[in-house]
Amino acid sequence: MAIERTLSIIKPDAVEHNHIGGIVSLIEGADLRILGMRMVHLTRPQAEGFYAVHKERPFFAELVKFMTRGPVVVLALEAEDAVARYRKLMGATNPADAEEGTIRKAHGTDIGENACHGSDSVENAKIEVGYFFPGYEVL
C-alpha cells in the first residue's frame, strides 16, 4: 500500500457543536497521522473555489452558504491508503446511511450538514491538500 495524503475538513456544524475534539480523536484512533491542522473561516470565493466541481449541482449555493457560516478546521492527513481509509472513517455522505462508529454517524445531522469532508481520490487529495497547505501537495 502506498503512503498517501488526504484533506479533511471539520465543517461548521461540527465546530459549532464542539465536536472538533471528538472528530480528531476518531482520526487519530484510526491511525491517520495529522501533518497539518488549522482553523479557518472560509470566504465565499474560497468555498466556491474549493467546491468548484459541484458548481452546476442544485445544492451548490446551499453548500457554499453552509461552509462559510462559521469556522472550519482543515487537516492534512497521512497514512498508507489514507484516502480510502479516511472515507471509510467518515461514513456515507448522508449520516442517515452512515455505519456505526463513523464520524458522520456520530456527529452528522443531514446530507448537507454532515460534519466532515474528505478527498475522494488521490489526485483530488493533492489538489485539496495544496489548497489549504501549500507545499504539502506533493509527497
What residue ranges bind ligand CMP (CB under 6 A)? 54, 59, 62-63, 93, 111-112, 114, 117
Question: Which lies closer to ligand CMP via its Cβ, residue 68 or residue 135?
Answer: 68
**CB closer to ligand CMP out of 14 and 79:** 14
Q: Is 117 a catalytic residue?
A: yes
Count helices and strands (H / E) in the chain.
7, 4
Nearer to ligand CMP, 4 or 108 (CB): 108
Minimum CB distance to ligand CMP, residue 75 (Å)? 14
Q: Which residues contact 81 (CB under 8 A, 6 or more apart)?
A: 1, 2, 4
The residue among 137, 50, 122, 134 whose CA lies nearest residue 86 is: 122
- By the 8 A CB rule, do 95 and 104 touch? yes
Q: Hey, which residues are catalytic here?
A: 117
